[in-house]
Amino acid sequence: MKLIILIVLSILISIVISGSVQSKITTTRGISNVYSKNDINNIKQFISSKYNGNTKLYGESLKDTFYGVGVLTRIGETNIEATKDICKQTKEQLKQNKFTDIELVFNGVTILSELKCLQGESSSSLGNEQQLQDLLKNKLENGSLLEKTQAINIYFTLSSAKAIDSKTVSIIDPLLIQAVNSMVSLMDEDGTFKSVSTDDEGNLQNTAAAYFALARLSHRLKSNEVDKLVAKVVNKVDTVLASADETTDSLYFNDLSTTSSLLHGLLSLASVNDKVADVISNKQINQISEYLLRQKNVESLSDAYHLIVALKRCQKNSISQPISLALVKSIYSPSGLNDIRVRVTDIFDQPIEASIVINKVVSSKNPRSTPILSGKEMKFQSSDNSFVADLSNENLKLGSYNFEFKVQPVDTDSYKSITNIQIITITGAVTVNDMKLSYAPKSDQLGSPKTTNEVQFGQKLPLIEIPSNNIARIFFRIASEAQPYQAQQVGIRFYSPAREAVVPATYSADAYSYTFTNKDACKILGCQSGNYQLDLIIGDQSITPLQWNFGEINLKFNQSTIPTNRYPEQLPISHNFRVAEKRPPQSISSLFTLLVLSPIAIFVIGLLFVGTNLGRFPTGMGFIYTIGFLGCISATGLLIVNYWLHSTMDVTLKNLALLMIPLVFFGHKSMSYYSNLSSSNIKKD
């Protein structure tokens, strides 16, 4: 029993170990695109177009210039336009600012550093030394997270250029560890960083800035206390990564700016803490690279800067540097199979030393079929930094093939191996063999020599009359380099001056055929009797399209011809309308109208005889209420008359609903007034 348990445990342990090893050696397909020399030239032209000769800056501000200079220095542009003018203008703005705006100082100092204008300078040449000390001290102690990170970067930049005095160093150095504690205290439970402690939650931009600043501090201070705090931050990196938006082949955080900043910060952290490499995988670096390469067409200096910064971090980092395998060309003729070429490059299209093996080659139409070849090693050609394979003796027919390449870089510390599938098409001409047109009363008699007509490729059969009670069959084979070939599209075209139809040929056992009866032909040709030309049409991406007029047949149909017009002429449609019902004479309608209006006439005549007494007409508010009430009643009457003459019920009801509000209000007030008036008169009596 113990032996069985021991065996089971051994098997489980071996499975776990093999699984973990397998996960470590899992390869990716690499990146599908690169940032080429043409892309670099395009972004150079874009940056140059933003230079303002009047302000001596890129764009409209020092921040835009920070972006523009950052791009040019990172792509290796050594001859930056008007470097002296930019440095001079930057220094003037720093002096005018008097070290009050931390962001402007950060942008200005970074510009001067990247243009190498800080060499041999001191911070006093940029402004008052005391003001700089106060700015850095204040922001490190009381600033927001972004202000702290900017202060740290300013301090390190000036220190690296030896452009800061010892007094400032003695003041700022003790504050750095305090700044680390302060920044880490701003980390939220989800791993993101708040700007200030009173914020409800953190965001990814703050997180990216914190990662980069903490990495610089850890590298500079070399303190166990700082390393522990950085480790605390690293423990939350997986939670931050989980917030990324992921598609099939790309990964990003909100937008280009956030993705670039966060990648820069994460890879900076990885340089001081090895555990980051356990969280970020090679696949994720490739996915981020794919996202970045889709953002080539930048529209602002900010986007250009963040794109280049992120691409540069992908090109050089301590976790994984993406590589690309690309075909020199994807279409070959049979005579060119001795020169199958590929290139292996990094994300900036720079060649990489590697060994390449063609793992397998299968037909694109049937990827799960048995490989046509496997284990073919490619040779390196130093003339154009490509890898070449000679497949002229591998018996590859015309068609498309999936080539699986295994790339093993020489520098395994920087690059991971990839397995990449590319489609290569072998194209050329085809021939048609064994073309036969047969007809017979029964299908089992179609092979009879008496009713079989053969024709050589390129020639044409004479007119053949096919009886209406016979079955006909067109049979042929397609070959390439004396080998059977299955094309993507093969059809038979029947056409005459009156009708035309194309039917697909059926492929079976290395041959094509199309069998039809008189009824089938009647259906596709509209039962139009007559002579029909026969064309064979062959189409495929790997061959030159072929159309061959190989014969002519006569067909007779017993059925009447079906019109070709999609919309045949129809007989006029007649409708029987209902006879209008008999109505009463107009005189009766007029009499009814007079009866309806007679009360109004009686009222007017009565006023003339009886007279009117306005002596008791109310005064004050009663007057207003009464006039409003009478006005609303009159408006209601007019509305009813308007409906009777030409309006609709829908409009009338809407207007009546609006009138009911003032009518009820004024009516209620009027009745209340008269009620109170009557009560007071009774009391007097």
pLDDT-derived band at 683 (thresholds 50, 70, 90) equals low
- Residue 480 confidence (pLDDT) above 90: no
Secondary structure of 342-396 in HEC code, one letter for each residue: EEEEECCCCECCEEEEEEEEEECCCCCCCCCEEEEECEEECCCCEEEECCCCCCC
pLDDT-derived band at 398 (thresholds 50, 70, 90) equals confident
- Residue 15 confidence (pLDDT) above 60: no
DSSP 609-646: HH----TT---THHHHHHHHHHHHHHHHHHHHHHHHHT
pLDDT value for 64 = 92
Average pLDDT over residues 530-543: 90
Can you tell me the distance from the alpha carbon of 559 to that of 563, in angstroms, rounded to the nearest whole number? 12
pLDDT above 70 as % of the chain: 93
Buried b / exposed e over 347-386, threshold 16 CB at 10 Å, is bbbeebebbbbbbbbbbeeeeeeeeebeebebeeeeeeeb
Most confident of 94-98, 167-171, 578-582, 655-659: 655-659
Please say whether the beta carbons of 43 and 68 come within 8 A.
Answer: no
DSSP 218-236: HHHH--HHHHHHHHHHHTT
pLDDT value for 642 = 86
pLDDT value for 232 = 92
pLDDT-derived band at 8 (thresholds 50, 70, 90) equals very low
Measure the CA dihedral 536/541/542/543, to 10°: 30
Domain extents in the chain: 34-175, 185-319, 323-426, 431-555, 619-680
Architecture of domain 431-555: Sandwich (2.60)
DSSP strand pairing (331-332 vs 418-426) = parallel
Which is more confidently placed, 679 or 95?
Answer: 95
Can you tell me the distance from the alpha carbon of 151 to that of 138, in angstroms, rounded to the nearest whole number? 9
Average pLDDT over residues 633-637: 88
Amino acid identity for residue 542 in this structure: S
Average pLDDT over residues 223-251: 90
pLDDT value for 538 = 93
pLDDT-derived band at 204 (thresholds 50, 70, 90) equals very high
pLDDT-derived band at 7 (thresholds 50, 70, 90) equals very low
Most confident of 19-33, 80-94, 373-387: 373-387
pLDDT above 90 as % of the chain: 42
- Residue 318 confidence (pLDDT) above 80: yes
DSSP 536: E
- Residue 18 confidence (pLDDT) above 90: no
Please say whether the beta carbons of 546 and 458 come within 8 A.
Answer: no
pLDDT-derived band at 534 (thresholds 50, 70, 90) equals very high
Average pLDDT over residues 611-635: 81
Residues 6+ apart with CB under 8 A from 438: 446, 447, 448, 451, 452, 453, 472, 473, 475
Can you tell me the distance from the alpha carbon of 439 to that of 471, in angstroms, rounded to the nearest whole number? 5
Locus of tokens 């520098």:
411
pLDDT value for 429 = 82
pLDDT value for 614 = 64
- Residue 108 confidence (pLDDT) above 70: yes
110-114 long-range contacts, Cβ below 8 Å, gap at least 24? 110/66, 110/70, 110/153, 110/157, 111/62, 111/65, 111/66, 111/69, 111/86, 111/87, 112/87, 113/157, 113/160, 113/161, 114/69, 114/70, 114/73
pLDDT-derived band at 16 (thresholds 50, 70, 90) equals very low
pLDDT value for 14 = 46
Q: H or E segment at 665?
A: helix 649-684
Which is more confidently placed, 439 or 333?
Answer: 439
Average pLDDT over residues 17-22: 39
pLDDT value for 566 = 62
Architecture of domain 323-426: Sandwich (2.60)
Can you tell me the distance from the alpha carbon of 494 to that of 277, in angstroms, rounded to the nearest whole number? 66
Can you tell me the distance from the alpha carbon of 634 to that of 344, in angstroms, rounded to the nearest whole number? 92
341-388 confidence digits (pLDDT tens): 999 999 999 999 999 999 999 988 888 889 999 999 999 999 989 999
For all residues of the chain together, what is the average pLDDT?
Answer: 86
Can you tell me the distance from the alpha carbon of 38 to that of 45, in angstroms, rounded to the nearest whole number? 11
pLDDT-derived band at 402 (thresholds 50, 70, 90) equals very high
Helix (H, G, I), strand (E, B) or coil at 417: coil
The overall pTM is greater than 0.75 = no
Report the range of poorest mean pLDDT among 513-517, 567-571, 646-650, 666-670: 567-571
pLDDT value for 432 = 93
Summary count for the chain: helices (H), strands (E): 19, 24
pLDDT value for 677 = 74
Most confident of 152-166, 318-332, 604-618: 318-332
Average pLDDT over residues 118-147: 82
Among residues 512, 509, 515, 492, the alpha carbon closest in space to that of 442 is found at 515
Among residues 112, 70, 72, 119, the alpha carbon closest in space to that of 89 is found at 112
Beta-bridged to residue 332, according to DSSP, are: 426
DSSP 106-158: HHHHHHHHHTT--TT--GGGTS-HHHHHHHHHHHHHHS-HHHHHHHHHHHHHH
pLDDT-derived band at 404 (thresholds 50, 70, 90) equals very high
pLDDT value for 23 = 35
Beta-bridged to residue 504, according to DSSP, are: 491
pLDDT value for 682 = 65
Measure the CA dihedral 141/143/145/149, to 10°: -70
> Would the CATH topology of 323-426 be identical to that of 431-555?
yes
427-438 confidence digits (pLDDT tens): 888 889 999 999
Average pLDDT over residues 253-270: 92
- Residue 582 confidence (pLDDT) above 80: no
pLDDT-derived band at 603 (thresholds 50, 70, 90) equals confident
Can you tell me the distance from the alpha carbon of 666 to that of 662, in angstroms, rounded to the nearest whole number? 6
Average pLDDT over residues 6-21: 43
pLDDT value for 419 = 93
